[in-house]
């Protein structure tokens, strides 16, 4: 099942399978699909609350598909506090592989549930943004939203 919602970042499409969210995609040309399940309704509600600053932590069942290493990285992303950032080196260290910055960055970039698994909170060690699946402008908007709500 899928649902499409409008957000400050543009249209987002959520995918649910077997009672868990499996994908969140930036889909600028998607047609509106209302949420047909209670999970998709809750996900849309929580995302809207997040974008208004009323929610800082999602409470949704997530099931991203990936390798064991990617799963470790995505779990580490969930531990980065709202309004804070990690460098790719800190992310690699958080999964016990401090020299695997590139591998951690690659896993971060393959996150199928951006925003919900906050890959936008990972930046370069010099403080610059690095990349983002939805584009740097969206990453900056998410970081600014969290910084403004966290102060």
**What mean pLDDT, rounded, does the chain reach?**
95
Active-site residue among 119, 123, 142, 145?
119
Indicate whether 23 and 85 sit together in one domain. no
Percent with pLDDT over 90 in the chain: 90
Query: Is residue 151 predicted with pLDDT exceeding 90?
Result: no
The predicted model gives 95-116 an average pLDDT of: 95
For residue 119, give the nearest of 151, 149, 75 by alpha carbon. 75
101 is catalytic: no
List the CATH number of the domain containing 100: 1.10.10.10
pLDDT band at 110 (very low <50, low <70, confident <90, very high): very high
Q: What is the residue range of 21's domain?
A: 2-51
Q: What is the pLDDT of residue 150?
A: 63
Indicate whether 77 and 144 sit together in one domain. yes
Residue 14, C-beta contacts closer than 8 angstroms, at least 6 positions apart = 2, 3, 4, 5, 21, 23, 24, 35, 40, 43, 44
Indicate whether 135 and 100 sit together in one domain. yes
* DSSP letter assigned to residue 30: P
63 in a structural domain: no
Indicate whether 42 and 116 sit together in one domain. no
Q: What is the pLDDT of residue 16?
A: 98
Indicate whether 78 and 138 sit together in one domain. yes
Indicate whether 81 and 124 sit together in one domain. yes
Query: Is residue 149 predicted with pLDDT exceeding 90?
Result: no
Indicate whether 101 and 127 sit together in one domain. yes
133 in a structural domain: yes
Provide the domain count of the chain. 2
Indicate whether 108 and 145 sit together in one domain. yes
Indicate whether 78 and 36 sit together in one domain. no
Residue 104, C-beta contacts closer than 8 angstroms, at least 6 positions apart = 73, 88, 91, 92, 95, 97
* DSSP letter assigned to residue 62: B
């Amino acid at each position: 099942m899928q649902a499409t919602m409008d957000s400050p970042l543009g249209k987002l499409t959520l995918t649910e399978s077997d009672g868990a969210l499996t994908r969140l995609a930036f889909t600028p040309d998607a047609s509106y699909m209302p949420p047909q399940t209670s999970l998709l309704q809750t996900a849309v509600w929580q995302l809207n609350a997040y974008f208004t600053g009323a929610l800082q932590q999602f409470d949704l069942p997530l099931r991203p598909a990936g390798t064991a290493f990617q799963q470790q990285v995505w779990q580490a992303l969930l531990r980065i506090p709202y309004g804070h950032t990690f460098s790719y080196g800190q992310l690699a260290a958080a999964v016990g592989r401090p020299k695997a910055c590139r591998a951690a960055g690659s896993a971060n970039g393959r996150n199928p549930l951006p925003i919900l698994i906050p890959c936008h909170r990972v930046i370069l060690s010099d403080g610059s943004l690095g990349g983002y699946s939805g584009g740097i402008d969206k990453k900056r908007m998410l970081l600014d939203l969290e910084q403004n709500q966290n102060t």
